[in-house]
Structures are given as C-alpha cells and as structure tokens.
Amino acid sequence: MRFNNIQILRVAAATAVVFYHLGCHAPTLIGVDPAVFRSGWIAVFPVPLFFAVSGFVLAHAARSAPPGRFLLARFLRLYPGYWLALAAMIVLMRLRVYTEYRRWEIYFVRGSTVTLWPVGTGHVMYVLGVEWSLVYEVFLSVALCAMSLFGTRRGVPVLSGVWLAVIGAKVVLWPGFAFDPFPHWSTIALSAYNVPFLLGVLAYQLRDRGRRWRWVVLPVVLGAYAALPPRPITLEGHWCGAGLVGAGAVWLAVQFRQLPDRNRLVRLGDCTYGLFLFHVPLMLAVLYPAARLGWGGRAEVVWVAGIVAVAGGLLFGRLEAAMHARLRPLAKMRAADPTAWAGRLMARVGTRHVPR
C-alpha cells in the first residue's frame, strides 16, 4: 500500500529545511538576516517530521521483507544518492565556486564520512550540511531490522515502546546526555534524536485505529505545533515534543483519503531526498560568489539562493529518484540470482571467443 498523503509531509518538511538553512547561512555570508526562517515553527519540526515519516514507512517495509532484503533496500535508498551528492559537491569545489577553506574541506573527508559511521563530534568532516541526520537514519534502519527479528507485529512495537521508555528515563535523570547531532556509536542509542522515529513506528501500529477521532486529533496536533516553540523548555524537550507532533501528523495523513499517484505534490515527494541532500551546496553556490562580488546586504540574493536551492535540489532529487528506481530491483533479487546472472554473462562472453 502506498501512503500518498505522507508524500505531502515530505515536501513540506524538505521545503522548511531549505528555509531554515537559508536563515542560517545568509547572515554570515552576505549580511542579510531572514530571522523568520530560524523561528521555532520552522527550525524545530522539519527533521523530527522526517524521522517520524521514516519510522512509519520503514515499519511498513519491515513487514514485507526479510531482514537481509530490508537492509539491502535501505542501503540502496540511502547511500547511492548520498555518494552522488558528495561527488557533485566535489565538482562544485573543483569549479572554485566556494571559498578556499571550503574547497579544501573535501580533503579531510574520511571513511566515516562516506559510511556515515557514528564516530562523534570532532572526529569527522561533513560537507553537505545534513549528514548528521543520515547517521541517525542508518543507525535506526539497522536497529529496526534487529527488532524485526523478534516479530514485526509484536516485537517491533513492544521493543520500540521499551526503547522510548529508556530514553524518557534518560531525559529525566540525565538531561542532555547523548543528545548530540554528531553521535558516537557507544551512546547513539540513548539519544533523544531517536524519539520521533520510534513514535513513527508506533504510529504505524495505530494506523487502522481511531479513524473516527481524526477531526478531534487534527486541532490537537495543530495546537501543539503552534504552542510548542514559544514554551521555555530545553532543546531536548522541544525535540521530543516535535516528535509527538510529527508522529501525530503522520497518523493523520493516513486517516484521510489518499491523494492519487498523479498528484504533482505526491510526485514531488519522490524528489525530496535529493532536495534534502543537495540544497545546502546549491545555496552556498549562490551566496559565496555573491559575497565575493560585494553584493552583501541585498535581500534579493537570499531569494535567488532559495530558488536555486529548491529548484536545483528538486532536479537533483529527480535524478536521484531515477537512479534509485534502477537500483531498487536489486533488493528483490534472490541469493542465487546474481550467480545465475554472472553465469549467463560468462557464457555469452565465452561463446563470443570460441573459434569457428
């Protein structure tokens, strides 16, 4: 089953991430501060919403694929697009689009950057500006696969609930511990950044329940979204609250009539991963040259950077989605298929070289 309404949430979250990063980079590079882009309503919710969507969608995927195939599908979903974005970033650096410092960053990239292995702050160089969330995505994908070994119908929701309880106890007893956007492998499981994903997993378990209450839940979720940012709570508390709102939004998206496949926003949802990956390099490709040309203080530069980031990111996302469509069938191959395919290939090569 395809949950097309969730595609709309992806588009909204990806667009909000672009605005937030534009609000972060514009003040330091060209002296224009669109502070509204860093407001709590934009800064806090997009990535938790992404994580909640991932938890919901992956809980669904885990039910229809054995663990090995599930992990291979996740590898094909996350890594090829990420590596393509890294390669495109290198091209922009070679074209001398960025400053001297930024052009040299790529030479400090290590194996942990390429593999997204959680090695902690200060031990790895990231260049796309979004890799920290991918580190959690990879970890949570592996963790969900491990939980599925205990059963996807009971084991996954029970273990997710236990995991949430442990993180909740950690937040109360040891606030701030392991709450690091660049986590270490030894502490990542206790990070509150995992909360939205786990809530998304639980939202999947409730997808067929409470439909008649959707018109009651809708204003509650909207009210929580409006009320959470101004409240004087910790960033960790904001993240957990945003996770609840994100999971509520995902649950609501399933309760209403699904949009058709041909809907433009639904189709754009397939491009949001590429937009998420590559919007910062595209944005900086406008802001850095503008700063060198002395165009600081011009608001129009901010809008151009935003348009380039969104439009170029969606084009990159379309390319990434097409590449993934070609690679995705590999996850459905049987263990014997690659051997048989290689055997047929060798047989063809051998027959071509047989003397007549």
Which residues 6+ apart lie within 8 Å of 219 measured at CB?
none
Q: In 3-state terms, what secondary structure has residue 119?
A: strand
What's CA 75's distance to the chain center, in Å? 13
Residue 338 pLDDT:
52
Q: What pLDDT tens digit does each residue of the chain (356 aa) get?
A: 679 999 999 999 999 999 999 999 999 999 999 989 988 788 888 999 999 999 999 999 999 899 999 999 999 999 999 999 999 988 888 888 887 666 666 667 778 889 999 988 765 668 898 999 999 999 999 999 999 999 999 999 999 999 999 999 999 999 999 998 888 999 999 999 999 999 999 999 999 999 999 999 999 999 999 888 776 678 898 899 999 999 999 999 999 999 999 999 999 999 999 999 999 999 999 999 999 999 989 999 999 999 999 999 999 999 999 999 999 999 887 654 555 555 554 665 555 444 44
Neighbour-count burial for 86-124, b at 16+ CB within 10 Å, e otherwise: bebbeebbeeebbeeebbeebeebeebbeebebbeeeeb
Find the angle CA(50)-CA(306)-CA(15) to the nearest 5 degrees.
20
Angle between helix 235-255 and 214-227 (nearest 10): 150
Q: In 3-state terms, what secondary structure has residue 309?
A: helix
Q: In 3-state terms, what secondary structure has residue 86?
A: helix
Regarding pTM above 0.75, the answer is yes
Residue 134 pLDDT:
96
Alpha-carbon span 93 to 82, nearest angstrom: 17
Please, which residues bridge with residue 184 across strands?
119
Q: Kindly state the tokens that stand for 271.
A: 């491009």
Q: How many CB atoms lie within 10 A of CB 291?
A: 16
